[in-house]
Structure 1
Amino acid sequence: MSTAAHDLLDEIRLIWAEVLDQEDVPVDENFFEAGGDSLLFIVLLERINRLTGREIEAAELFDHSTVEAQAEFLAGLAVPGAGADAADDAAEGRGRLLARGH
């Protein structure tokens, strides 16, 4: 797992725990097997979009259906040619999310 993905892992795991109303969410379990449904998936998508400051498509997130896979996927979006501005935008989005208590 890349460093960027590892950095995102805890944040995504926390979002999953809140959305699924669970304390401990395995990083390798599918969202739906962990108790999620289609409505909770939309909530998850919105929360991850707020975290990253991006508009991730539902199909993209669905294709990466574990905490670990989502962390790798999202980290990969910021790395190739993204530059400092994209990384700063993502960090700012995470800061806003944390400031709101989400």
Structure 2
Amino acid sequence: MASGYGIRGGPSRCFTFWQEVLGCYVVNSGEGEAGKQKCAPALEDYYECLHHRKEALRTMKMQAAFRKAEAAHPRENAPKAEQIRSLGLLGKDEESAAVLAARS
């Protein structure tokens, strides 16, 4: 971000947010600490653009809520663990023998 140029040339994705922060600091520079407080939302937007922490947190919360809702309402016809393990093929020797005998 030091130069303001992105990987493919042109401005970086967060350059406009950085310009807002600088503009805010220029306008509010004479107010000291109160000026910095006025620029906090712009600085927060710039950091979010850089690091995507709020977006990642929101995504994790949505995934957790989805998992919780899915656990609260299990599927009606969900296969049991032994059905998944055997894939319906184990323990059916008689049927397999009958199919093979019919083909011969």
TM-score of the superposition, structure 2-length normalised? Answer: 0.29
* Structure ranking higher on relative contact order (CA contacts 8 Å, 6+ apart): 1
The structure that has the greater radius of gyration is 2
